[in-house]
C-alpha cells in the first residue's frame, strides 16, 4: 500500500482496454499506405542524414510538395482499394446494414404514392436473386447486397404501415364517447389528459369511430384510474397535419401511435360500472403498471413538491406533462432538455449506479470477488434494473430504443466482449428499425444515434491513436494534486463529450426545430455534473428505498439538485441570444449525414472522404428560401414577416403552438396582431389598398384583413366568400376562410386559396416572384399529391367536401294551448 501513491490511475480493468479494431491490425510494422506517403522501400536510405535533428520548416514544405507531386491516379486507386479491403476485414459491411435499412425506410416514407405489397416484395426477391447469383464477383455482390438491404428497409416500413392500420377520424364532430382509460396525465394547466380505448359512441353513433382517442377534461372523479370505464359528451377533432410544409406531421405520429382522434370533454367524464371479467388480461396488466406509475408520481410530487417534484416524476417514471412551460422553454434554450426525456443518458446512469453499488459491495468481500466474475453479476443486475426502468417509465419509444442500445452493451459484457463499439450500436439500430421503422424519420432517432455514433467513433479513434504509444507510469502526486487532475480530466471529458455530441446533432436539431442553443456547452458543463453525481444516483437510491418507505432523504437530496439545475438553466437562458435560426436545405442535412456515417465508421485514411461531404453540406445550409407568407390548414391564420424581426398575423388571438413554429422558421422574435377599424373609419377601395405601407400589420374591417409584404405584394384574408370580390382588384394573394368559397376573381395574376383547398392539401407556404413584380405567386402545400394512409382521413371532412359548418336544426316552436 505504501508503494501506491495518489498518482496511480490504473484501475482494475486498466490493462484490459481491448479494441476490436486491433484484432484486424496488419501484421506488418509499417502503417497502411496512403496516396500522400511513399511506399516502403521506394526511396533509398539516407544514411548520411542526421536522424536526430528535425528538418527545418522549409524542408518540411518541400517534402510535402514532393509527396503531392508523386500522387497519381493509379497510386490513389491502389491505396483506396487496399484501405477498402482492410475496412471490409474490420467489419464495416455489417456497420452499413442499419444505414441501408434506414435508407430504404426513408425512401418508403418519401414516396409520392402508396405502393401495394407486390412491388416491394418483387424488388426484394429480385435483389436477393441478383445478390445470390453475383457471389463470384465480390464488388457486384456487395452492391446487390446493399440494394437488397434497402429494399428490405422499404418492405419493413410497408409492413409496419399495414400492421398499424389506425382508423383516423375524418371530420370534427361532437358525440357521446364511452371507453376504457389507458392512461391519464395531469397537465401543467390543471387539465387532465385521458387516453381512451373507445368501446362505443352515441348521439350520433359513429360508423367509423376511431379505436383510441386522446381527450382532455377540466376535472375527473377522484377514483378514476387507468382501466376505468368512463363516458362523457366530447368534441372530437381529426389529427392535424404539419403546421407548415416540410415540418413535423402530427397525423403521421398519430397514425403509428394508434391515436385516431383528439379533443376535449364538453363536461366532466363520469365513471361507468363494469366487472373485471369484461377486461382482457393484457389490459388489466397494462392498467396495473399505469396505476403504479401514477401512484409513484403522486408520491414523488407530494414528497419533493413544486416544479422539482414534477421533474423528479419525469425522471423516475416518465410523467412530464406537469412541468411548467417556462422551465421547459428555459431548458430548450440552454440545450439541456434532453435531461427530461428518458433516453440513453438516464439508462446509462441507472446502469452505472447499479453496477457501481454492486462492485463496491463485492469489494467488501475480496475472497468472493477473486473467485467469481463479479463484473458479470453487476452487469446482469444492471440489465434487470434498466428493464424495470423501461417498464415503469411507460415503454415510450425513446426509452425503448435506449434500452435496446444499452442492453446490447451489457450483454456484450456478459460474454466478455467490448461493450462500447460501433458493432453494438449497429445491432441496436437494426433492432429499432425492424421494430419501429417510422422512427427513422423522427428527430429522436436521428439525434440519439448521431450523437452516440459520433461519441463511439471519437472514442475509438482516440484509443487507436494512443494504442501503439508507450506511456510512462504516472508520477506520484499529493492528494490535492490527484483530485485536481481528476477534476480537470472529468471537466475536459465532459466538455469534449458535449462538443462532439452537439456538433453531430446540431444540423438535425436545426432541421426539425429551427433552433440551436448557443450556450449549450456552458449549460451542460454546469448542469451535467449535478445530474450525473446527485440527481440520477439519488433517484436510483430513492427507487430502491421506496418499497421500504425510506426514500424521503434520497428524494430530498434529489430535489435540491433539481433546484440547482433549474436555477442554472434559468440564469443561462436569460443571457442566451435568440435561438431561432430559420430554415435550412434538405440536401445539406443529407450531405452531413453521409459525412457523419463515413467519419464514424471508417478506420483508415478513407475517413477523409467525409470532408468534402461535410463541406458541401455546410456550404448548402442556406440554399433554401424562407416563405413570404404562411397559411394554416384551417384557413383561420395568415402570417408574413414584415421586417425588424416581426411577424404580422391576421388574428388577434392566434394559435400559440402554430405561431411559435412559424416564428422559428421565419426568424422572428415578436408577433404583431392586426389593427381593427370600424366600417365608418376605413373603406376598402383600390386607392386605399395601394397606399398600404409595407411592413405594417394587418388592417381589418368589414370581414376583410389586408397587409402589404415588404416586396410590395398585397395579402387579403377574407372570412366570407361573398367579400372576395372586394380584394380582387388589388390583392396578389387572397385567403378565403370559407369552405364554400371559390376563385371569384378569375385573374391568373391573383392567387386565391380557399378553405377547401387547405382542408384537402394542408397548410401552405407562398412565395412571391422577386424577379418580376407582375408574376403570380407560387404556392406549396404540406400534403400535396395522392394521400398516404396517414392522410386518407383528410378527404372526409366537411371542409374538404366544400360544405359549410354543421348547424343543428332549430326545434319547431310548440303551439300555445
Residues 136 and 191 in one domain: no
587-619 pLDDT per residue, tens: 999 999 999 999 998 888 888 899 999 999 999
Report which DSSP code applies to 262.
E
pLDDT band at residue 774 under the 50/70/90 scheme: low
Model confidence at 624: pLDDT above 90: no
Instruction: Report the mean per-residue pLDDT for the chain.
Output: 84
User: Between 771 and 389, whose confidence is greater?
Assistant: 389
User: Between 17 and 285, whose confidence is greater?
Assistant: 285
**Per the domain annotation, does 377 fall within a domain?**
yes
Residues 305 and 454 in one domain: yes
pLDDT at 76: 80
User: Of the candidates 255, 279, 303, which is a domain's last residue?
Assistant: 279
Instruction: List all residues 6 or more positions away from 566 whose beta carbon is below 8 Å from its beta carbon.
Output: 307, 308, 311, 327, 330
793-803 pLDDT per residue, tens: 998 888 998 88
What's the CA gap between 63 and 47, in Å, rounded?
Answer: 18
User: Between 784 and 68, whose confidence is greater?
Assistant: 784
User: Between 592 and 723, whose confidence is greater?
Assistant: 592
Residues 645 and 676 in one domain: yes
Model confidence at 339: pLDDT above 90: no
**Per the domain annotation, does 287 fall within a domain?**
no
249-280 pLDDT per residue, tens: 999 999 999 999 999 999 999 998 766 556 77
User: Of the candidates 542, 574, 606, which is a domain's last residue?
Assistant: 574
pLDDT at 401: 72
Range of the domain at 196: 173-279
Residues 392 and 538 in one domain: yes
pLDDT band at residue 699 under the 50/70/90 scheme: confident
Most confident of 573-587, 613-627, 691-705: 613-627
Q: Report the candidate in 630, 637, 549, 632 with the shortest Cα–Cα distance to residue 582.
A: 630
What's the CA gap between 494 and 529, in Å, rounded?
Answer: 9
Residues 307 and 452 in one domain: yes
Instruction: List all residues 6 or more positions away from 156 whose beta carbon is below 8 Å from its beta carbon.
Output: 101, 104, 105, 433, 434, 437
pLDDT at 19: 46
Residues 656 and 781 in one domain: yes
pLDDT at 815: 60
Q: Do 495 and 521 form a contact (C-beta atoms < 8 A)?
A: yes
Residues 344 and 433 in one domain: yes
Residues 209 and 111 in one domain: no
pLDDT at 690: 63
**Per the domain annotation, does 403 fall within a domain?**
yes
**Per the domain annotation, does 43 fall within a domain?**
no
pLDDT band at residue 67 under the 50/70/90 scheme: low
Provide the β-strand partners of residue 466.
Answer: none
Q: Which three cell numbers stand for residue 314?
A: 419525469
Most confident of 36-40, 215-219, 316-320: 215-219
Q: Is the peptide bond before 28 cis (omega within 30 degrees of 0)?
A: no
Query: Total structural domains in the chain?
Result: 5
User: Between 26 and 124, whose confidence is greater?
Assistant: 124
pLDDT band at residue 47 under the 50/70/90 scheme: very low
pLDDT at 193: 93
**Per the domain annotation, does 422 fall within a domain?**
yes
pLDDT at 469: 67
Model confidence at 62: pLDDT above 70: no
Provide the β-strand partners of residue 676.
Answer: 700
**Per the domain annotation, does 52 fall within a domain?**
no
**Per the domain annotation, does 2 fall within a domain?**
no
Which H or E run contains 87? helix 73-89
Residues 385 and 491 in one domain: yes
User: Of the candidates 279, 304, 321, which is a domain's last residue?
Assistant: 279
Residues 437 and 520 in one domain: yes
Model confidence at 640: pLDDT above 50: yes
**Per the domain annotation, does 146 fall within a domain?**
yes
pLDDT band at residue 53 under the 50/70/90 scheme: very low
Residues 269 and 399 in one domain: no
Q: Report the candidate in 762, 771, 753, 769 with the shortest Cα–Cα distance to residue 797.
A: 762
Q: Which three cell numbers stand for residue 502?
A: 452537439
Q: Is the peptide bond before 204 cis (omega within 30 degrees of 0)?
A: yes
Q: Which three cell numbers stand for residue 162?
A: 399495414
Q: Report the candidate in 579, 674, 67, 26 with the shortest Cα–Cα distance to residue 330.
A: 579
Residues 670 and 592 in one domain: no
The whole model's pTM is what? 0.83
Amino acid at each position: 500500500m505504501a508503494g501506491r501513491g495518489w498518482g496511480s490511475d490504473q484501475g482494475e480493468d486498466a490493462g484490459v482496454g481491448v479494441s476490436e479494431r486491433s484484432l484486424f491490425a496488419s501484421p506488418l510494422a509499417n502503417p497502411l499506405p496512403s496516396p500522400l506517403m511513399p511506399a516502403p522501400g521506394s526511396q533509398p536510405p539516407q544514411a548520411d542524414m542526421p536522424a536526430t535533428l528535425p528538418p527545418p520548416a522549409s524542408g518540411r514544405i518541400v517534402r510535402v510538395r514532393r509527396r503531392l507531386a508523386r500522387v497519381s491516379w493509379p497510386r490513389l486507386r491502389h491505396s483506396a482499394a487496399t484501405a477498402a479491403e482492410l475496412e471490409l476485414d474490420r467489419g464495416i459491411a455489417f456497420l452499413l446494414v442499419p444505414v441501408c435499412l434506414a435508407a430504404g425506410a426513408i425512401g418508403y416514407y418519401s414516396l409520392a404514392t402508396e405502393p401495394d405489397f407486390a412491388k416491394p416484395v418483387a424488388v426484394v426477391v429480385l435483389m436477393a436473386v441478383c445478390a445470390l447469383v453475383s457471389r463470384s464477383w465480390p464488388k457486384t455482390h456487395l452492391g446487390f447486397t446493399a440494394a437488397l438491404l434497402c429494399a428490405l428497409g422499404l418492405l419493413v416500413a410497408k409492413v409496419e404501415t399495414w400492421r398499424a392500420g389506425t382508423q383516423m377520424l375524418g371530420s370534427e364532430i361532437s358525440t357521446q364517447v364511452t371507453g376504457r382509460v389507458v392512461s391519464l396525465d395531469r397537465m401543467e394547466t390543471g387539465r387532465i389528459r385521458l387516453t381512451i380505448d373507445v368501446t362505443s359512441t352515441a348521439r350520433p353513433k359513429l360508423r367509423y369511430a376511431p379505436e383510441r382517442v386522446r381527450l382532455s377534461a377540466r376535472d375527473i372523479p377522484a377514483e378514476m384510474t387507468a382501466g376505468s370505464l368512463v363516458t362523457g359528451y366530447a368534441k372530437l377533432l381529426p389529427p392535424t397535419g404539419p403546421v407548415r410544409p416540410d415540418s413535423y406531421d402530427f397525423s403521421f405520429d398519430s397514425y403509428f401511435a394508434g391515436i385516431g382522434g383528439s379533443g376535449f370533454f364538453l363536461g366532466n367524464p363520469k365513471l361507468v360500472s363494469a366487472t373485471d371479467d369484461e377486461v382482457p388480461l393484457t389490459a388489466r396488466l397494462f392498467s396495473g403498471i399505469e396505476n403504479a406509475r401514477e401512484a409513484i408520481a403522486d408520491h414523488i410530487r407530494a414528497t419533493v413538491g413544486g416544479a422539482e417534484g414534477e421533474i423528479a416524476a419525469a425522471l423516475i417514471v416518465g410523467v412530464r406533462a406537469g412541468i411548467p412551460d417556462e422551465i421547459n422553454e428555459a431548458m430548450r434554450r440552454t440545450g439541456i432538455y434532453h435531461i427530461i426525456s428518458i433516453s440513453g443518458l438516464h439508462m446509462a446512469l441507472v446502469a452505472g449506479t447499479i453496477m457501481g453499488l454492486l462492485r463496491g459491495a463485492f469489494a467488501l468481500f475480496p475472497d468472493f470477488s477473486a473467485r467469481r466474475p463479479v463484473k458479470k453479476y453487476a452487469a446482469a443486475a444492471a440489465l434487470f434494473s434498466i428493464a424495470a426502468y423501461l417498464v415503469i417509465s411507460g415503454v415510450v419509444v425513446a426509452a425503448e430504443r435506449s434500452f435496446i442500445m444499452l442492453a446490447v452493451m451489457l450483454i456484450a459484457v456478459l460474454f466478455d466482449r467490448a461493450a462500447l463499439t460501433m458493432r453494438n450500436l449497429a445491432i441496436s439500430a437494426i433492432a429499432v428499425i425492424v421494430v419501429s421503422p417510422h422512427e427513422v424519420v423522427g428527430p429522436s432517432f436521428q439525434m440519439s444515434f448521431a450523437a452516440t455514433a459520433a461519441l463511439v467513433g471519437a472514442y475509438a479513434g482516440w484509443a487507436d491513436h494512443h494504442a501503439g504509444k508507450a506511456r510512462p507510469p504516472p508520477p506520484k502526486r499529493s492528494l490535492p494534486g490527484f483530485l485536481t487532475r481528476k477534476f480537470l480530466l472529468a471537466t475536459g471529458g465532459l466538455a469534449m463529450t458535449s462538443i462532439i455530441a452537439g456538433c453531430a446533432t446540431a444540423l438535425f436539431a436545426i432541421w426539425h426545430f429551427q433552433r440551436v442553443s448557443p450556450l449549450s456547452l456552458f449549460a451542460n458543463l454546469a448542469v451535467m455534473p449535478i445530474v450525473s453525481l446527485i440527481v440520477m444516483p439519488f433517484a436510483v437510491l430513492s427507487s430502491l428505498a421506496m418499497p421500504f418507505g425510506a426514500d424521503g432523504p434520497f428524494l430530498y437530496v434529489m430535489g435540491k439538485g433539481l433546484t440547482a439545475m433549474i436555477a442554472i438553466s434559468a440564469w443561462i437562458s436569460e443571457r442566451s441570444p435568440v435561438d431561432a435560426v430559420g430554415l435550412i436545405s434538405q440536401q445539406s442535412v443529407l450531405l452531413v449525414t453521409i459525412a457523419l456515417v463515413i467519419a464514424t465508421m471508417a478506420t483508415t485514411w478513407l475517413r477523409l472522404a467525409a470532408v468534402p461531404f461535410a463541406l458541401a453540406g455546410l456550404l448548402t445550409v442556406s440554399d433554401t428560401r424562407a416563405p413570404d407568407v404562411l397559411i394554416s390548414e384551417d384557413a383561420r391564420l395568415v402570417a408574413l414577416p414584415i421586417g425588424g424581426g416581426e411577424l404580422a398575423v391576421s388574428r388577434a388571438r392566434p394559435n400559440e403552438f402554430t405561431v411559435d413554429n412559424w416564428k422559428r422558421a421565419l426568424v422572428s422574435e415578436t408577433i404583431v396582431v392586426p389593427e381593427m377599424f370600424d366600417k365608418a373609419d376605413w373603406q376598402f377601395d383600390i386607392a386605399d389598398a395601394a397606399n398600404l405601407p409595407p411592413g405594417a400589420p394587418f388592417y381589418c374591417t368589414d370581414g376583410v384583413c389586408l397587409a402589404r409584404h415588404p416586396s410590395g405584394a398585397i395579402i387579403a384574408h377574407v372570412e366570407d366568400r361573398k367579400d372576395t370580390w372586394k380584394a380582387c382588384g388589388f390583392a396578389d394573394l387572397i385567403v378565403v376562410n370559407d369552405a364554400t368559397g371559390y376563385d371569384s376573381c378569375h385573374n391568373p395574376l391573383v392567387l386565391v386559396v380557399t378553405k377547401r383547398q387547405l382542408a384537402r392539401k394542408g397548410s401552405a407556404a407562398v412565395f412571391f416572384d422577386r424577379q418580376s413584380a407582375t408574376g403570380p405567386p407560387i404556392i406549396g402545400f404540406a400534403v400535396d399529391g395522392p394521400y398516404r394512409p396517414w392522410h386518407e382521413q383528410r378527404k372526409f371532412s366537411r371542409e374538404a367536401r366544400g360544405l359549410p359548418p354543421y348547424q343543428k336544426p332549430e326545434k319547431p316552436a310548440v303551439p300555445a294551448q
